[in-house]
Structure 1
């Protein structure tokens, strides 16, 4: 396949205190998030100076790729500058026709995959018939290099605990509504988000600490309380571990490729504080973006797409594909 450019597509984040409110308005528009929850999340950002680390992590990701691929690199976000439509406009004006895009989520669901595809389609429609075509790289939840980075991060975190042989592992990901989880994946074949995360957790646990019990738990819920979301929450899980007599835990945020605010606040602050109150020794495993193997994986995924027909690097059993079928991971109904 012939491509003219590489596009990094990410969530976006504020770059200063004045950006926080409009950024969160972009993120939550039409989702019915309670005002008190919105105010709470805004304070999380302000705790870090109103700056999300995700933007600098995107810059570092692009810097790591520049010497590894022979394509010009562009960057567009869903929710904050630089916006997707601006990146596509720059590519159109540069005479670029076909783009290979990497979305910073390994998993399939509306919010982690389909919504990015919808935003790409909306940006292309806004630019008209000369807009570049965009092909998204496949999911990579079980790529050997992605798993290896998590495995070493879990091992390093375990080594910091006073009694690692008797610890537990807790793998976390962003909670989503149960209805969204049930419809994640192809039509009439949902559950892809949870299934992929379970597979990632299983692969990491088997290689990092095969003798330790582990669980997949959830974090960062943001929706109305009347709507069921995936549970248990990581803090509730820590309390349950303590009640069982567990004395140490490693939390591995396999749902995130980098240290989002949800990782820094919900895990490094709230969950760590919960563990301290419970008397649990606590360590949080690193996310993989800073690991050189993550860049190696990206290069492999790009070459795989440019030269189709070869074997796909994968450790699990859940299939991946290059293009999602129509109706895959449908959008949830909009709420006031």
Structure 2
């Protein structure tokens, strides 16, 4: 297979206050969510000046990947397209067509299986190509990478660095808490060959990171950013509820590691650096938040290795035991009947 471009696929986010409500309306389009509900989420963005960090993080990652490609003789022009805000993927695909691109490799800013974290990107690609019409380039999405060394090792570095900021005299009563975006329980139990992939992969990532960063300590996988009607079950426990439980059990300090994210999206800096941090302070817990991969050199190298893997120049590299596919089975990850993400969620 011949590939002639690379495209970064992401969620998108507002870059000024006037962008926030149009962006949120894009996120919930077709779901009947009133502006009154969106206004609550808007306040999270306004706390940071109406700017989500995700777009700049994508620019930084794209620049780092381009430099990595150049340093290893990979001659692929690089593009970037989003699901919900500019640059929109359809506009990017149109530009790729105009540039003569025929078949690109796509890297999504999500490590895991599941509808919002994987299959919806395939849907984004199909919708963008349909909007562009004839001669729209093909885009083949690179595989999930939850157990790739280039994803696991930066997460472990983040946990070790966070631990170093806590009181070493209380290490025996310190806990590592891994977090990811909650999803409806019905989605987590999706039938088919990839049923339960999201939770299984996250559990494996947590084990792999823990073994490299703090194998002498106990750890948990919990959830954040739950949304939707209260009568619809979502994965639990929530990070804030879990901190309450840990404090009752005599835990004195926690490191919170958002392994469900590749960079410091708004949900990381709001839900963890504000809400969870405030909960920990109220409970008297020492608190440190581990960094995400971002543009960690090993993570950037991983992107290049995934490309070379598809080109046939690199072995399939994994640390875990769960299978992954270059092309997911057609019946995997059924779209949800309710929104998989709350407004403002970043994959």
**Short-chain TM bin:** over 0.9
TM-score (norm 2): 0.92
Q: 1:31 to 1:208 in 2, by over 3 A?
A: farther
* C-alpha distance in structure 2 between counterparts of 1:208 and 1:220, whole Å: 25
Shift of 1:67: 2.1
Structure 1: gaps spanning 5 or more residues: none
Q: Is the 8 A contact 1:33 1:223 kept in 2?
A: no
* C-alpha distance in structure 1 between counterparts of 2:21 and 2:147, whole Å: 36
Aligned residues: 332
Shift of 1:289: 1.1
**What does residue 230 of structure 1 align with?**
235
**What does residue 63 of structure 1 align with?**
63
Shift of 1:225: 1.4
* 1:40-81 C-alpha deviation (Å, 9 max, x unpaired): 221010100110000000000011011222211101000000
Deviates more, 1:162-171 or 1:111-120: 162-171
Q: 1:313 to 1:128 in 2, by over 3 A?
A: same
* C-alpha distance in structure 1 between counterparts of 2:338 and 2:242, whole Å: 30
2:84 pairs with 1:83: no
**What does residue 345 of structure 2 align with?**
none
Written as runs of structure 1 = structure 2, the 5 A alignment for 1:129-208 is 129-162=134-167, 163-183=170-190, 187=192, 189-208=194-213
Q: 1:165 to 1:291 in 2, by over 3 A?
A: farther
**What does residue 326 of structure 2 align with?**
322
Deviates more, 1:50-59 or 1:20-29: 20-29
For the residue of structure 2 that corresponds to 1:130, the secondary structure is coil
When the two chains are superposed, the root-mean-square deviation of aligned CA atoms in Å is 1.5
* C-alpha distance in structure 1 between counterparts of 2:194 and 2:87, whole Å: 35
* 1:14-56 C-alpha deviation (Å, 9 max, x unpaired): 0110111111111122446576653222101010011000000
* 1:87-118 C-alpha deviation (Å, 9 max, x unpaired): 00000011110000000000011111111110
Shift of 1:177: 0.7
**What does residue 215 of structure 2 align with?**
210
For the residue of structure 2 that corresponds to 1:68, the secondary structure is helix
Structure 2: gaps spanning 5 or more residues: 70-74, 340-347
Shift of 1:330: 1.0
Deviates more, 1:98-107 or 1:204-213: 204-213
Q: Where do 4+ consecutive residues of structure 1 move more than 6 Å?
A: none
* 1:186-236 C-alpha deviation (Å, 9 max, x unpaired): 725410000000000011111111111110000011212121111000000
2:101 pairs with 1:96: yes
Q: Is the 8 A contact 2:4 2:101 kept in 1?
A: yes
